Structure 1
Amino acid sequence: MYVCLCQGVTDGQIREAIYEGCCSYREVREATGVGSQCGKCACVAKQVVRETLTNVQSAQASFAPAVSFVPA
């Protein structure tokens, strides 16, 4: 789905920017150009960023190995 018509940015491109290392809306905006012209897409773009970051963080937490320390 197109999120930003001015720059031609899709929700998939926003997600890909996060998967490639962007950690905030600001970083996604710098990487993709989303929300940099008229700004009407900013609310939807921020929502996609929030949802994707939450999903990435949840996935990382579920794959984190259980570590237990045993005193020597």
Structure 2
Amino acid sequence: MLTSILICISIHSAVGLSESYMYVCICNGITDRDVREAVHAGASDLSQLSAMTGCSTVCGSCGDLALEIMEETRREHFSLPLLAA
């Protein structure tokens, strides 16, 4: 049985803003932010994401989570607006 370890970090800027990132791929240090940026840059499947970021190229246990984040990002960013009737 594979066990996924999710590690979250917080980055605090000098102006007091904070952003939280979750490591998706521990082997290559890929965060959810990296995955989202790759989707915005055109990655549409795991093979393209892997080529762009290195995610899921070592042990592969992060692939399912990476795909979930990709789908979530596409829904958030590329969703069509609802038209009023």
Which of the five TM-score ranges fits, normalised by the shorter chain? 0.7 to 0.9
Report the TM-score when normalising by structure 1: 0.75
Following superposition, which runs of at least 4 residues in structure 1 exceed 4 angstroms of deviation? none
Q: How many residues align?
A: 61
Secondary structure class of the residue paired with 1:14: helix
Higher Rg of the two aligned structures: 1
CA distance in 2: counterparts of 1:55 and 1:26, whole angstroms: 21
2:45 maps to: 24
Query: Is 2:58 the counterpart of 1:37?
Result: yes
Q: Are the aligned partners of 2:23 and 2:30 in contact in 1 as well (CA < 8 Å)? A: yes
Distance in 1 (CA, whole Å) between partners of 2:47 and 2:74 is 13
Q: Secondary structure of 2:24's partner?
A: strand
Identity of aligned residues (%): 34
Q: Which runs of 5+ in 1 are unaligned?
A: 67-72
Higher relative contact order (CA 8 A, sep 6+): 1
Higher strand share: 2
- Residue 33 of structure 2, aligned match among 3, 12, 30: 12
Looking at secondary structure, tell me which structure has more helix per residue. Answer: 1
- Distance in structure 2 (CA, Å) of the matches to 1:23 and 1:40: 19
Q: CA RMSD in A?
A: 1.4
